[in-house]
């Protein structure tokens, strides 16, 4: 559910829904994600985790049960990462890819913010963004099929009990 909530936030925000602002990352983490420059290596690690989550989930739909996020506290990269590292199945997948929970969520957030910018579909808008954010948006736009596939996987993997 946590991943679905985050993905829903991006979709809602891209459609200017007011509910999106209620559950965004805290401002400092949001700024960090917007200014974080994605790398091919980081994306490969992220993709490896998501693909493994999909594989594990296909074999056991309850493998990631208990990862849901209660939206009663501010969302931070640290708290999200700690939550994932505390879950046995998720910790194993993160370790297998050599990624921390925080790095997973930083990558996810950077991808989602870039995806939101891509939906603006206006090069002059992209030029007005901070350099890392604009570069991420252009990169995501060039890898739309790959990024979209990973987001679709994350939207399907159930994390609630």
Full-prediction pTM beyond 0.75? yes
Predicted local distance difference test score (pLDDT) of residue 73: 76
Where are the chain's structural domains?
2-9+28-156
Q: For residue 28, what pLDDT is reported?
A: 93
Write out pLDDT tens, residues 123-148.
788 888 889 999 999 999 999 999 99
Q: What distance in Å separates the CA atoms of residue 10 and residue 6, rounded to the nearest whole number?
A: 6
Confidence tier at 8 by pLDDT (50, 70, 90): very low
**Backbone angles phi and psi of 75, in degrees to 5:** -85, 125
Using CB atoms within 10 A of its CB, is residue 58 exposed (0-12), middle (13-18) or buried (19+)? Answer: exposed
Q: pLDDT tens across 13-68, in order?
A: 333 333 333 357 899 999 999 999 999 999 999 999 999 999 999 999 999 888 87
């Amino acid at each position: 559910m946590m991943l679905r909530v985050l993905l829903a936030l991006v979709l809602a925000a891209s459609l200017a829904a007011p509910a999106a602002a209620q559950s965004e990352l805290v401002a400092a983490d949001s700024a960090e994600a917007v200014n974080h420059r994605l790398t091919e290596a980081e994306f490969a690690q992220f993709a490896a985790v998501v693909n493994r989550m999909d594989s594990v989930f296909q074999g056991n739909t309850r493998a990631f049960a208990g990862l849901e996020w209660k939206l009663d506290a501010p969302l931070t990269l640290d708290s999200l990462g700690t939550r994932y590292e505390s879950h046995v199945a998720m910790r194993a997948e993160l370790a297998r890819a050599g990624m921390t929970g925080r790095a997973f969520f930083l990558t996810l957030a950077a991808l989602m913010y870039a995806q939101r910018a891509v939906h603006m579909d206006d090069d002059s808008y992209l030029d007005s963004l901070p350099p890392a954010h604009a570069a991420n948006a252009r990169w995501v736009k060039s890898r739309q099929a790959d990024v979209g596939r990973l987001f679709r996987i994350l939207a399907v993997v159930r994390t609630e009990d």
